[in-house]
Amino acid sequence: MKNEREIAELIFDKFRSAKCKAGHIVMFRVLQHTLIDKLNPKEKELFFIVFNGLIFTGYFTYENTSPECIRLTEKGYDYIYDDDKVAAMLQKPWVIPQVDKTDWDKAFYKLWKFIGPQDTATHYIGGSQFYKFIMPLCDDIPPSYTLYIEQRRKKDLSTSRVEYYNDLINHLDEEKRKELYVNIQLFLEDTTDTKSTTTDDFNFDTAFITTDAIAVEEVVKSVNQASVAMTVEPTEVIPNVFISYSWDSQEHEEWIINLATKLCDNGVNAILDKWDLGSLGKPLPHFMENAITKSQRVICVMTPNYKKKTENLAGGVGYEYSIISAEIFTDGVNTSKFIPLFRNGTDADAIPTVLRGRKYVDMRDDTQFEEKFVHELLRDIHEEPKFKKPVIGKKPTFD
């Protein structure tokens, strides 16, 4: 039995055999007699799923006229004669949901699989970038990702990406949701730094559940609208990151200031007591509480003195630690908001209890500072991982 990708190529072969250029047509009766009629019942069901899917993504249009036909688009023309593009299509995930009676939960789970998990997503899209897809489609949300996250915190809503991604999508009406998925699909198709996938990733069966090849005009309209929506450039998002540290020595404080300065130089609003505390007389607990709860990430600079102060709940570090601990237990122990940064000491004498067993960035060796700063700390804050796990391929055929 032919799979979805094989059927898609059979449809494209009709344009190829006729040496079609953009704007040229293939009669639907040709598809009927030379392709559809030769398929078994299961393959015929797949044909209409694939047929609608290719229209949705803009490879050709359907014209319910006399005679009934499909018309090759510029995108389709650029694709069908380019072997490299055909091979590249096998690497692209398919996230557009079914056209009729859409199961939005199923659509979201499929989307999240490909763009969500930071360690396994083949086409990872971070929170600020995802928010850019939503903004052109909705006029009643905050004008920036940072403000949106702050609003959720004030309402005691989770800031877990999987939850607010889903909430943002559910906030859209059904037509806007369809447009969003098209926007993301077009973005994925235009993205070149993909990981290797298998033919199964081009899965029209899970993307579309319909055998109505006639009701496609609204689908084509959505694709055209999506291309326009993608040109909107929302406000650039700058993550807020609070730095929690102990006043160990003058040298240590200078190192902290240098770290915070480099974060600011690289698109991060580093919140530091040295420059954000304000005028004399300002209450320290209020500053600490606001800084921790309203920041997207918190860097905990771990040293033996830092741990000692957390254990004794001494000074500013002790108060910060109590807030950090409370937030971890409130939001869930799996939260990755708090970044342990190892500056001095050993695991036993420098890591506070609540941060034990968590992945940390080791900055004890100054000769590796730049490498650690850029490729571990900065990438993590900006949600731009250096390494992405490839998709699991098919089991080989054994003799």
- Rounded to whole angstroms, how far apart are CA atoms 223 and 241? 38
The rounded percent of the chain whose pLDDT value lies above 90 is: 38
> Amino acid letter at 45?
E
Give pLDDT tens digits for 122-173.
Answer: 899 999 999 999 999 998 999 889 899 999 999 999 999 999 999 999 999 9
Nearest to 209 by CA among 376, 45, 394, 341: 45
Return the SS3 of 132: helix
Mean pLDDT of 164-190: 89
Residue with tokens 């990702």: 145
C-beta of residue 254 within 8 angstroms of C-beta of residue 366: no
Return the SS3 of 297: strand
Mean pLDDT of 18-41: 92
Domains annotated for the chain, with CATH where assigned, are 4-89 (1.10.10.1420), 104-210+218-229 (no CATH), 240-381 (3.40.50.10140)
C-beta of residue 129 within 8 angstroms of C-beta of residue 165: no
Nearest to 102 by CA among 186, 4, 182, 214: 182
Q: Give me the sheet containing 60-63, strands edge to edge.
A: 25-27, 69-72, 60-63
Mean pLDDT of 50-71: 85
Listed in sequence order, the residues at least 6 apart from 67 whose beta carbon sits closer than 8 Å to its beta carbon are 27, 28, 29
Residue with tokens 């590249």: 88
The pLDDT of residue 76: 93
Mean pLDDT of 77-93: 85
40 class by beta-carbon count within 10 Å (0-12 exposed, 13-18 middle, 19+ buried): exposed
Residue with tokens 């235009």: 190
Give pLDDT tens digits for 307-330.
Answer: 988 888 878 888 888 888 887 777
Position 367 pLDDT exceeds 80: yes
Q: Indicate the pTM of the whole model.
A: 0.46
Nearest to 162 by CA among 298, 387, 334: 334
